[in-house]
Amino acid sequence: MIESFRNILAIPDLRKRLLFVFALLAVYRVGCIIPTPGVNPEALIEIMEQARNTMLGFFNTFTGGSLERAAVFALGIMPYITSSIILQLLTVVWPYLEKLSKEGELGRRKITQYTRYGTLVVALVQSAGISYSVEGFRTPGGMPLVPDPGWGFRLMTILTLCTGCAFVMWLGEQISERGIGNGISLIIFAGIVIGLPGAVADTFTQIQTGNLNPIAIFVLIVFMLVVTGFIVFMERSQRRIPVQYAKRVVGRKVMGGQNTYLPLRVNTGGVIPVIFASSVVMVPPTIARLFEAEWLQNLADAISWGQPIYYLLYIGAIVFFCYFYVSIIFNPQDTAENMRKYGGFIPGIRSGRRTAEYIDRILTRLTMIGALYLAAVSIIPELLLFGFKVSGIPFIGGWLDSIVPAFITQGLGINFYFGGTSLLIIVGVAMDFVQQVESQLVMRNYDGFLKKGRLRGRR
């Protein structure tokens, strides 16, 4: 490991790329601290503390805590992700975008340009909504979030947040072009891990005050290692379908005649289905808590963290979005047609429609395994913290609550800092970054981090 870091520092180009990445990430963190004019920071922190388990708290995690500070980069990179997802969905239903996606580098640049425009539109809508909504926010003590509301505050907020979002998008593109790895993913990664030192300090404080015992800390460390290893294993898992290519004579050359395979990843959809599911499940309680109706408050409590309905909806949403997203990004018909065009076939399977059906059948089974894996990783940290409140189950909830052990219904009280979605992103981005660095080392005849095998990234 130490030798690999020495090799990185010994290569001028690789060293400059890494320093460039770290410098831009530092610029991003500075923008996450500078507050937006016109907002009372003390009142905002108090309000965000109450909204920790809602959609606002979810977005605050991905923006590195800049949302709770009303910082210049409060929107973070989320508008860009939203715009990218919308463009991917439109590629399936809009023939023009589908044609662009098949035109190589030129089409990719055009879609990227549309994504930028879409990012600004989404940022404009979100910043306008934020500027209008926060004017009426007050703390439980009656402190207003915006001391001087009005059009001056609204226009300043829209301009500040939109400019910050555009700048963050530019930072991500610069990291991708002149640095190492995917810039957007690294910005999200930096926003999540920046809270780790504070979480470690808080853990030590709880140990000193006696709120946490050594056994709980041991369980937490073991759990982190096991879950991280499980994520690495599943992210690298794939089903290899053997493919043979017939020999073809092109001029005086004989082409083909080789045996290869079609790799199908177990988690084809990545972390996108979890982000979709988390956003959808958090929408109802977030909206319900904006109103004072009693039945809406009861609804929000019924689908809050730890309740059976919440876990049921969360798992169902993850499974649905896994199949939905995989159907968008992977088309068995196109894969079978490309194989037939170049003389490839799966042994024992006819080319064309039969091949497409075979690939689709395998992909359906893999997607179910991937969906259950994502659901398990996403829910286990919440079970440790909140438990499974069986009292919310109709008819038998009271009886189950009396016989089920307390550590199941109330949780272990272990505050696992990285939630399921955050942990998936951290491990996936780290794997991809290490793979990128290792490919640079191997290309220059240096040993990488893994001498016995190569690490495959998420993409």
Per-residue model confidence (pLDDT) at position 459: 44
The one-letter code for the residue type at 449 is: F
pLDDT in tens, the chain (459 residues): 667 677 777 778 888 888 999 999 999 888 888 878 878 777 777 766 666 555 555 556 556 566 666 778 888 888 888 888 788 778 877 888 888 877 777 888 888 899 999 999 988 988 888 788 777 777 767 777 777 888 888 898 889 889 998 999 999 889 988 888 888 888 888 888 887 777 777 777 777 777 767 777 777 778 788 888 888 899 889 999 998 887 766 666 666 567 888 899 998 888 778 877 877 777 777 666 666 677 777 777 777 767 788 888 889 989 998 998 888 788 888 888 888 887 888 888 888 889 999 999 999 999 999 999 999 888 887 777 777 777 767 777 677 777 877 767 776 655 555 566 778 888 888 888 888 888 777 776 655 555 554 445 444
Domains along the chain with CATH numbers: 1-195 (1.10.3370.10), 237-416 (1.10.3370.10)
- This prediction has a pTM of 0.75
Q: Is 203 helix (H, G, I), strand (E, B) or coil?
A: helix
- C-alpha dihedral, 180 to 183 to 187 to 192, nearest 10°: -70
Q: How far apart are CA 233 and CA 223, in angstroms?
A: 15
Q: What is the dihedral of CA 174, 178, 182, 188, to 10 degrees?
A: -50
Helices 196-209 and 214-236 meet at what angle, rounded to 10? 150
Interval 179-223: pLDDT, tens: 888 888 888 888 888 877 777 777 777 777 777 677 777 777 787
Look over the chain and give the mean of its residue pLDDT values, rounded to a whole number. Answer: 79
Q: Is 219 exposed, middle or buried (0-12, 13-18, 19+ CB in 10 A)?
A: middle
Q: Could you tell me the two tokens for 233?
A: 């294993």
Say how many C-beta atoms besides its own lie within 10 A of residue 122's C-beta: 20
The pLDDT of residue 71? 77
Q: How far apart are CA 398 and CA 390, in angstroms?
A: 8
At residue 294, the pLDDT reads 73
pLDDT one-digit tens code per residue, 30-41: 888 887 887 877
SS (H, E, C) 277-342: HHHHHHHHHHHHCCCCCHHHHHHHHHCCCCCHHHHHHHHHHHHHHHHHHHHHHCCHHHHHHHHHHC
- How many angstroms separate the Cα of 307 from the Cα of each of 191, 297, 406, 420, 433? 29, 14, 15, 17, 37
Q: Which DSSP letter does residue 65 get?
A: T
Per residue in 110-136, pLDDT (tens digit) is: 888 999 999 999 889 888 887 887 777
Q: Can you give the pLDDT at residue 292? A: 66
Give the span between the Cα atoms of 237 and 235, in whole angstroms.
Answer: 6
What does the pLDDT read at residue 68?
Answer: 64
For 449, counting Cβ atoms within 10 Å of its Cβ (0-12 exposed, 13-18 middle, 19+ buried), the class is middle
